[in-house]
Amino acid sequence: MVTLCNRSLFYDRLRQKLSLALRKNEEFGIISLDMDGLKEINDNYGHRAGDAAIKEIAFRIKSLVGELDTVSGLGGDEFEIIVGNVVDRNDIKLLTKRIDCEIIKPFGFENFKINLRASIGYAHFKEDGIEMEVLIEKADKSMYEAKRECKEL
């Protein structure tokens, strides 16, 4: 069973991380992740499969981030991640690539093999902003850009 933080706890932890990073001159990242294709999974395999797919993505994300990082389910198929131990923007980018590579592995549900995918964006504290709202907006915009690029392929 994977336990995720809710929206309220995510914002609380983000405020704490922001305050600490400003005081200690640390860097961190925010990752926005939106599962792609949930409607198709629900339509083709049923809502139990869709729920299982969301849980599987949460499990895969949690398996790749640090113990002190925060993984939040913001509703439905949306996730936000606060990533510490970041040296620079490239660290976050590499983690998003690892998460993507893990998510796209086929998922077995009952007798079906379901392909999972997600759009992932990120923001880097300091380089992309030092205010909570700015960082969240930057990560979301980055995620929506990835989603648009995926649809164009």
CA-derived radius of gyration, the chain: 16
Measured in degrees and rounded to the nearest 5, phi and psi for residue 134 equal -65, -45
Q: Which of 12, 77, 91, 100 is catalytic?
A: 77
Match 């590579």 to its residue by tokens.
101
Measured in degrees and rounded to the nearest 5, phi and psi for residue 66 equal -70, 160
Please report which residue ranges of the chain form alpha helices under DSSP H: 7-24, 38-45, 47-64, 89-103, 132-152
Q: Is 12 a catalytic residue?
A: no
Between CA 87 and CA 109 the distance in angstroms is: 38
Give the number of residues written for the chain.
153
Tokens of 14: 């983000």
Burial of 67 (0-12, 13-18, 19+ CB in 10 A): exposed
Active site residues: 77
